[in-house]
Chain A
């Protein structure tokens, strides 16, 4: 059973901290060094509260229904991103985006595109600030990954070996090491030719329509978004670039799995791309794993987000919308109804799922 009072106090303090910077960020009066100072201040803030965060996370049970926004950097209040998560559970947690983006502010990483990073950072900062201002007793900003990574060499080992294994397994007929594959597949085209269509369809980086593009286009446009791709090309082979692009999403998915299992969180995966990789990774998870148990919840939450037009509920107000879902146990009702159609709800056609969802929503909302 979780205790929320320390978390609420921390949210208040974090809001006060970010409040010192909001006007400067909105007014675009920040220089690069100011971002670094602020990131240091945020790091120091979380470091000072680590023990409280650890206690909170380590005492969550699945019954507490704590939802964790995974595969997304921000709530995106303007586009009702918080409504999307509401069906998933009773407490909403999302990773502090400032800590997540801080790695891109490392001056040693000259391949990072700083201008894009700053633009994106400002966007997520303002969103985070707004979340804290409006909903800090309901949506909790917690640097979950940061805390999970502390003294966690095991995690690092699992991530790296897991990701490497996954990429190697794409080339099952080769039975080669990473270095050997790197030698063999010198171009994106040669990689593309050796992969089956089934696998190639799932290698997406931007959205689902990626699978209609050549592999080269997929990779280059993905890496160009956040990195100086010309610089990367001078330092890495095409196979390495392919692995780097894949790695990003595979690592994310394995990380979601590790964090969710460790802290008994229900991951809400907004990104289609990450959800795609998450399904690929968890396809191999043990049937007895707690993650398998909540896979229905994850799937329903994803479908809910894809199907519902949340603009319809804007007038209802987020708190009312959410409380109605929780108090009426809408999620479980939906799962029960879908199971009465097919025991494996993931096999049910989206139109039928949509119909069930809207029937339930019409019942509880005017």
Chain B
């Protein structure tokens, strides 16, 4: 149950409904951030989209406010003070500063840098002198790297220490950012407490009866060490309160800050290394090759004219070739292996699907061949009509695929089916052959790689920058440092599934059959 806080301020009263909604959503978000993640069944499905419970419930009313992006820069001056003096002394000094500010400036809503820089000169001077009466100028010197004389000469005059060079200033700011980036860190929560405290001093917040936890949190927070158990209760309350006080109207400094500090510092990209070592043996591959050889050599008559064995051995060989290409070219950690693996999985499913449906559709293997060659015919016809520029340097060898399209019958007798094979979508095929788990995990995941969707690109081709001043952005991995995890374990899994399936249809040497069964287990 959420208690509503009433804010007393002319600026807010006219927007009460929206404001309270913001408070509710911010309160709930704070609470939810420590709860479990939603299950799939909790999501609401609507017109092809699975909406999170939050998004579905709040709709357009929900607006996210990022502590790091929007608010950290505004209060980094407080962070520098707390870091320099330590928590206890720092909080005391800030309390004194805030008390003096409260008395002097009735209009100041919150002690953000945007608000301070927007003050008139005399108020700014008072503000800076108030701070300097309580702290050494060196504490806020780092900020003169982002607030330059052209931005506010009064600030740079008051807080510049000439012995501190630009590199030292940037380093101190970056260290402070590191402490504060996480909105739930102790340091961030201390600052957020001070923001709340300032509003209390300015009589902007009042507490109704019954809000015992909140009032206790506010009154005891400064006197309680972070390792005290009670802080596990106090900290979320403080953060919830602070979120409701945010006013994005005066927030221009944050953009300026991130731009300045970001441009002045270099990216420090990091990549992840998989430390799982795999004992890889190519025995399964060798056994599979032998098995196919055995099938082909012992079924020559069928191979002369039967589509079933032709298709099955063809699919098997296709999978084996993909497997071999991955392993012998050392591609197990590559992007391309994901697309290749997806193809292996889909080929396996097509085989199982045809085996399952061959009774009801005895010509299913012919249909499969016809379907595939119809796809090739489409390319040939398109090329003839639209693409004169295809030459021998392109990888699409039109004469060859044209010959394939016409190999058993003229193309005038070959239709082009533009739907999925057998007019059944791929997901249904997985379900029909009881391999839904393969679809949900592997197929779904590797499809991202085949289609170049952003998750796959982030995982394989972008590096996270470890520089706190860059807000942990991502940059392209142009030096190819990031490798992906080893795919051979899963390739073996699919290969052994495939061989086990085939070994139930065709006779293969006993020792091989046994080894396929063992590897499948």
Give A contacts to B, CB under 8 Å. Answer: 32-33, 36-37, 40-41, 43-44, 47-48, 50-51, 106-108, 150
Contacts and interface: CB of A to CB of B under 8 A. Distances in A.
A41 B144 CA distance: 11
A107 B264 contact: no
A150 B264 CA distance: 13
B264 A47 contact: yes
B302 interface: no
Contact of B166 (A32, A44, A107): A44
Contacts of B160: 33, 36-37
A335 B145 CA distance: 50
Interface in B125-153: 144-145, 148-149
B266 A41 contact: no
Contact of A150 (B144, B162, B263, B266): B266
A107 B163 contact: yes
Contacts, number: 34
Nearest to A20: B150
B343 interface: no
Nearest to B265: A47
B185 interface: no
B467 interface: no
A107 B166 CA distance: 13
B166 A106 contact: no
A37 B156 contact: yes
A50 B263 CA distance: 9
Interface residues of B, number: 15
A107 B162 contact: yes
* B156, B163, B166, B260 pick with most chain A CB within 10 angstroms: B166
Nearest to A46: B264
Contacts of B162: 32-33, 36, 107
B145 to A, nearest CB: 7
A180 B149 CA distance: 51
B330 interface: no
B165 interface: yes
Given A47-B263, A150-B266, A41 B163 contact: no
B145 A40 contact: yes
A97 to B, nearest CB: 18
A41 B260 CA distance: 12
Given A47-B263, A48-B264, A40 B166 contact: yes
B168 to A, nearest CB: 11
Given A36-B160, A48-B264, 8 more contacts: A36-B162, A37-B149, A40-B148, A44-B166, A47-B166, A47-B264, A48-B263, A107-B163
B145 A44 contact: yes
B207 to A, nearest CB: 46
A37 B151 CA distance: 13
Contacts of A44: 145, 148, 166, 260, 264
A96 to B, nearest CB: 15
Contact of A43 (B144, B156, B166): B166
B303 to A, nearest CB: 57
Nearest to A103: B165
A306 B156 CA distance: 48
25 contacts: A32-B162, A33-B160, A36-B160, A36-B162, A37-B148, A37-B149, A37-B160, A40-B144, A40-B145, A40-B148, A40-B165, A40-B166, A41-B148, A43-B166, A44-B145, A44-B148, A44-B264, A47-B263, A47-B264, A47-B265, A48-B264, A51-B266, A107-B162, A108-B163, A150-B266
A108 B149 CA distance: 23
Contacts of B163: 107-108
A50 B266 contact: yes
Q: List 4 A-B pairs, minimum CB-CB distance, nearest first.
A: A48-B263, A47-B264, A43-B166, A40-B166
Nearest to B266: A50
A37 B149 CA distance: 8
A150 B265 CA distance: 11
A33 to B, nearest CB: 6
Nearest to B149: A37
Nearest to A151: B266
A48 to B, nearest CB: 4
Interface in B252-297: 260, 263-266
Contacts of B264: 44, 47-48
Contacts of B265: 47
Contacts of B144: 40
A48 B265 CA distance: 7
* A32, A47, A50 pick with most chain B CB within 10 angstroms: A47
Contacts of B165: 40, 106
A36 B264 CA distance: 17
Interface in B145-178: 145, 148-149, 156, 160, 162-163, 165-166
Nearest to A38: B149
Contacts of A48: 263-264
